[in-house]
Structure 1
């Protein structure tokens, strides 16, 4: 059994939290709010962010070296998502979680 580093375990946790945060905020906050919350670019970014976070967590759990690539992409998408959520406003939970996840993924990608 391959021993997972605590840094990797913490990145998996951040990714899964970010997946949950982006998906549930898109569905339960943005959709009902409407307006700029559901503009296609912003809404797609939130769903893309949720998906790359889930995928990165999955790759780390599998223990494949390819996680470096998914984590690098995840960090980029999370940064974009945080910026978009900040511009839309009233989405601080998402902004903060995306930034935490991006930071953690950057370390794993290094």
Structure 2
């Protein structure tokens, strides 16, 4: 094998790799350019310039907004207290209630 044969083999092997790398760089640059397109949407504002948060906001959670005073500083409930809360929740579900809103549940 001569020096020119080795050089020729190297060129033949490098060409596809170079093409693949060029293609990958082109794809990466085009993806980055499309990801940076400007978003023309603006959040609606109230007349005084604040974000408009009007709408229907449902809190379908049995977690109250503030900790009920009946629990005091305790981090957990006793087994009896937990069983009572489960019983109350089941009564609400059985009566056709669609959600257990925390502030009205506890």
TM-score range, shorter chain: under 0.3
Per chain length, whose mean CA-contact separation is higher, i.e. which structure has more relative contact order (CA < 8 Å, sep 6+)?
1
Structure number with greater Rg is 2
| TM-score (structure 2 length as normaliser) | 0.23
- Structure with a larger share of its residues in helix: 1
